[in-house]
Structure 1
Amino acid sequence: MDVQNRQFINGSFVSSDSSETDVVYNPANNKKIGTIARGNEEDVYEAVAGAAKAQKKWAQVNRIKRAELVLQLANLISQNKNELAKIYQDEQGKVWAAALGEIEKSIGYIKYMASLAQSDIGEVLQNEVENETIMLVKKPIGVTAGIIPWNAPILILMRKLIPALITGCSVIVKPSSETPFGTLKIAELLQQTDIPAGLVQVVTGSGAQVGGLLAKNKNVDLISITGSTSAGKAVMKAAAANVKKVNLELGGNAPAIVTSNADLDKAVKYIVTARINNSGQVCTCPERVYVQENVSEEFIQKLVKAMKKIVAGDPKSAKTDMGPIINQKQLKAIDEKVKKASSEGAEVLTGGHIIDRPGNYYEPTVVTGVSEGSSIMHDEIFGPVLPVATFKTLTEVVNKANNSPYGLSSYAFTENLKEAMELSNRLKFGEVYVNCEAEEAITGFHAGWRQSGLGGADGKHGFDEYLNTTVAYLRYE
């Protein structure tokens, strides 16, 4: 899998202008699986120039024809899904069902977005002026850039690639240096389609270098990043020089509220399923749990029992429920958060340690007795750790849940319709999951409030992110 010193520029794999490289490791055992080029200014310049040239022609292609060409990629991904899932496992550490499931969801995503090509994009508006028609028309925004994270690199690549192509844009992709090989495999598949060369460029390297260059490049019309809030702020600052559109999906600190009217077994099942998804390395995972006092003891007992059953280990084993943490740095950060909470008086009921084995593994962990001001309740953990606090009233817990700089996802568990409606209406988050785990349906709109981002992805609203508006006044007197 060693793909040293190559970038995907104008439809071909070419040597990077940079002689620097980054090593990619398998998080399951920390063994080297390959190297990638650390792209520089020359690589970015060439990619943007090629994307701009290709986009001018692509914008003139009929929208339905564009969708037909993009559907060729869906067929090729389907034919190569097992290979892609294996690459995914090696570089990211997902268990097989999750790796393959994300590839299959990506195929469905392409097909759904292709169907939107047949939708009307525009409006005819009325005016006081006689003999005049106003037409509101949607046009491709132009050259776009997508910065991809390591935790769901294929699906999020599709979010930035597919609506852009179908709306008539070109895309420069900057994959994570932790998980670049899946993206490079997609680039190989693109060579087998009739999608014109140059529409998709891939430049590998660091976010600070390549991402920063893309964000400030005056010929990039939109930059989209999925990543940390700090990275999003840096992109936004760089993009401001040219007042370009930014699309940001950033950090989360999802609260999970369990009321006394909840089905506790169901709540435990969905909270644990969501928390261990990708070893807790998903921005929509429940990061903090609030349970009503009169059912807290029973709920916590059930939660601890369920977390103790989770098997963390080799993602290629059929017996494994949860794979590794992406790298040693993140593993140590999780451990430090738990240790700090413990030093502040919290009680670790299960887990709380790095697993002593090759690779980056952390025990499924439940922490109680956590104060509301504790950092473990307000910072994104991004690991298989569940801090639990109690509450008395709905108003109290809503205030606590909303007291966060983040506003991506939230959860509510109750069998009481009034409570379900009140929580879904009062929680200030882009998503509220009631009695279920996070789905991020491809027909929905995945978008955050506050420091969780700007704009969003999925559904027709995600499609519209790649379009500009022109209003034409047509007078015929």
Structure 2
Amino acid sequence: MYSEKLQLLINGRWIGEEGGRKGEDVFNPADEQVLARLPHATRDDLDAALDAAQKAFRSWKKSSPMERSKIMRRAGDLIRERADEIARNMTLDQGKPFVEARGEIMACADLLDWHAEEGRRIYGRVIPARAENVRQLVVREPIGVCVAFTPWNFPANQAIRKIAAAIGSGCTLILKGPEETPSAVVALARAMQDAGLPDGCLNLVWGVPAEISSYLIASPITAKVSFTGSVPVGKQLASLASLHMKRSTMELGGHAPVLIFPDADVERAADIMAGSKIRNAGQVCVSPTRFYVHEKVQDQFLERFSANIAKVKVGNGLDADSQMGPLVNARRVEAIDGFVQEARGNGSTIMCGGERIGNRGHFYAPTVVFNPPEDSRLMTEEPFGPIAAVTSFKDTDDVLRRANSLPFGLASYVFTQSSKTVTQVSDGLESGMVTINHLGLALPETPFGGIKDSGYGSEGGTEAFDGYLITKFITQFE
């Protein structure tokens, strides 16, 4: 069991399953035991949340950026104080090792700090007029009531990105978090409330995802939609948002290519990428999945990378020596095993892993597949798990063509010591983010987002506020 009490938050009031509300069990993926019950919002609850957010917006949009900054900084401090408890609960319902969970929670506090300061710098501008006695101004104003839908893989980090951007820009928010991993989202909402956020500015609801999203997006009160999750669901929500002329931000899936050139520090690349691959059991939208290694260093990389992956300690995330926890549910285990079975059947070589671990909990051995066909599922579909495909290439134009061949364009990784190659490849990759010779993504001050089927809009960086602000032009003749 864990210590977080799972509830709805509507207009500053915490609500459980009382009143005949339906709910669902929350499970521990390490042992499949029930942790708690999560209440579902009724239609009346959703209407109450919309009404509360609309009323709160009337005053919150006029609040001083200094006031908003103080509240967000205070919330960040509270999150740091509560980090161990929040992280333990997250490990229980999500599965990731405690050290990863705690790192995610501390990053949430940093995100709040950064947005608190950057929100004080949402400026307009004065445009010199063409005629005397004319004044021309551009102002940025909060868009209104926002609704956000966040995923189970980084329940705290993905939620706080949307909370910080909406609240920091002067908007109000209704957040539907992930029903499978709810504890951290509840804890963040409690921290925001305890920090002094006025009632109605942040509302938290749970329920059947399709029912919640369709109702909230269609409401005339909603002005902005933000979603992080799979490509198919993102397309459905984007279509619904566009039908009602709602602005939206979509941070969707990826299938990140890794390009390793012959002049790279191959052993360092193998070590860095192995650590990145097992992070959160590979359930990461920017997880490295398609490894293109130059034929001159293929054997060297494959040997070291596979050895690193093979020795990963898989176990309960609360065990101090666990390096990788379970997958979040049985469906993810079946999905990864499906990729492995197809690889066995198409002549690929399983370098390590390729099997479930134990008969209790959702554990799967991290897996390296060598030389899968270019048209195989593993090379064309996002696996979202602890499995990596390794193949070779001969020249730069060829590897760029192959890396760009999919409809995804979220993250990409490059290892080379050549400045010429860096320029050519960073310019040539069809990707919203490119990181070279290290892991440098998802910092509070840098934009995070993709292109093509990986979505549109950015979270993080100064761009984070763009989707929550309208641009108004004011011209006056004096």
Q: What TM-score range do you get, normalising by the shorter chain?
A: over 0.9
Q: Determine helix, strand or coil for the equivalent of 1:348.
A: strand
Query: Which residue is 1:276 aligned to?
Result: 278
Residues 7, 203 of structure 1: 8 Å contact kept: yes
Structure 1 351/15 Cα, relative in aligned 2: closer, same or farther at 3 Å? closer
Alignment of 1:68-79 (within 5 A): 68-79=70-81
Query: Which residue is 2:10 aligned to?
Result: 9
Output one character per residue of 1:183-230: Cα deviation in whole Å (capped at 9) or x when no partner.
122233333222111111001112211122222222111010110011
* In structure 1, C-alpha distance between the alignment counterparts of 2:176 and 2:421, rounded to whole Å: 43
Query: Which residue is 1:181 aligned to?
Result: 183
Structure 1 gap ranges (5+): none
Which one-letter code corresponds to 2:10 in the other structure? I
Output one character per residue of 1:248-293: Cα deviation in whole Å (capped at 9) or x when no partner.
1001100001111111111101111111110000000101100111
Output one character per residue of 1:62-85: Cα deviation in whole Å (capped at 9) or x when no partner.
111121122221121111111111
* In structure 2, C-alpha distance between the alignment counterparts of 1:117 and 1:200, rounded to whole Å: 17
* In structure 1, C-alpha distance between the alignment counterparts of 2:72 and 2:89, rounded to whole Å: 22
Which one-letter code corresponds to 1:86 in the other structure? R
* In structure 2, C-alpha distance between the alignment counterparts of 1:407 and 1:214, rounded to whole Å: 28
* In structure 1, C-alpha distance between the alignment counterparts of 2:433 and 2:251, rounded to whole Å: 13
* In structure 2, C-alpha distance between the alignment counterparts of 1:26 and 1:15, rounded to whole Å: 21
Structure 2 gap ranges (5+): none
Q: Determine helix, strand or coil for the equivalent of 1:437.
A: coil
Report the Cα offset of residue 15 of structure 1.
Answer: 4.3
Is 1:205 equivalent to 2:226 in the alignment? no
* In structure 1, C-alpha distance between the alignment counterparts of 2:268 and 2:5, rounded to whole Å: 48
Query: Which residue is 1:374 aligned to?
Result: 376
Output one character per residue of 1:125-148: Cα deviation in whole Å (capped at 9) or x when no partner.
123233212111000011011111
- Equivalent in 374, 387, 390 of residue 389 of structure 2: 387
Q: TM-score, normalised by structure 1?
A: 0.97
Deviates more, 1:305-314 or 1:124-133: 124-133
Is 1:414 equivalent to 2:410 in the alignment? no
Output one character per residue of 1:150-191: Cα deviation in whole Å (capped at 9) or x when no partner.
011111111100121121100101010111121122233333
Report the Cα offset of residue 438 of structure 1.
Answer: 4.8
Alignment of 1:356-371 (within 5 A): 356-371=358-373
* In structure 2, C-alpha distance between the alignment counterparts of 1:50 and 1:285, rounded to whole Å: 38
Which one-letter code corresponds to 2:12 in the other structure? G
* In structure 1, C-alpha distance between the alignment counterparts of 2:464 and 2:341, rounded to whole Å: 40
Report the Cα offset of residue 303 of structure 1.
Answer: 1.2
Q: Determine helix, strand or coil for the equivalent of 2:105.
A: helix
Residues 6, 183 of structure 2: 8 Å contact kept: no
Output one character per residue of 1:402-431: Cα deviation in whole Å (capped at 9) or x when no partner.
111110000011111111121111101000
Which one-letter code corresponds to 2:9 in the other structure? F
- Equivalent in 269, 284, 308 of residue 306 of structure 1: 308
Report the Cα offset of residue 344 of structure 1.
Answer: 1.4
Query: Which residue is 2:55 aligned to?
Result: 53
* In structure 2, C-alpha distance between the alignment counterparts of 1:270 and 1:125, rounded to whole Å: 48
Output one character per residue of 1:326-353: Cα deviation in whole Å (capped at 9) or x when no partner.
0001110011011112211111111111
Query: Which residue is 1:32 aligned to?
Result: 34
Query: Which residue is 2:240 aligned to?
Result: 238
Which one-letter code corresponds to 2:453 in the other structure? Q
Which one-letter code corresponds to 2:430 in the other structure? K
Alignment of 1:220-239 (within 5 A): 220-239=222-241
- Equivalent in 103, 106, 119 of residue 117 of structure 1: 119
Q: Determine helix, strand or coil for the equivalent of 1:407.
A: coil
Residues 149, 176 of structure 2: 8 Å contact kept: yes
* In structure 1, C-alpha distance between the alignment counterparts of 2:3 and 2:314, rounded to whole Å: 28
Deviates more, 1:114-123 or 1:194-203: 114-123
- Equivalent in 343, 348, 351 of residue 349 of structure 1: 351
Residues 252, 409 of structure 1: 8 Å contact kept: yes
CA RMSD of aligned residues (A): 1.5
Query: Which residue is 2:108 aligned to?
Result: 106
Alignment of 1:13-24 (within 5 A): 13-15=14-16, 19-24=21-26
Residues 6, 186 of structure 2: 8 Å contact kept: no
* In structure 2, C-alpha distance between the alignment counterparts of 1:418 and 1:193, rounded to whole Å: 50
- Equivalent in 416, 441, 444 of residue 442 of structure 1: 444
Report the Cα offset of residue 116 of structure 1.
Answer: 1.1
Which one-letter code corresponds to 2:47 in the other structure? Y
Alignment of 1:61-210 (within 5 A): 61-210=63-212
Deviates more, 1:47-56 or 1:349-358: 349-358
* In structure 1, C-alpha distance between the alignment counterparts of 2:114 and 2:25, rounded to whole Å: 36
Residues 40, 210 of structure 1: 8 Å contact kept: no
Q: Determine helix, strand or coil for the equivalent of 1:246.
A: strand
Aligned length: 476
Which one-letter code corresponds to 2:235 in the other structure? K
Which one-letter code corresponds to 1:64 in the other structure? M
* In structure 1, C-alpha distance between the alignment counterparts of 2:36 and 2:4, rounded to whole Å: 6
* In structure 1, C-alpha distance between the alignment counterparts of 2:31 and 2:440, rounded to whole Å: 29
Q: Determine helix, strand or coil for the equivalent of 1:442.
A: coil
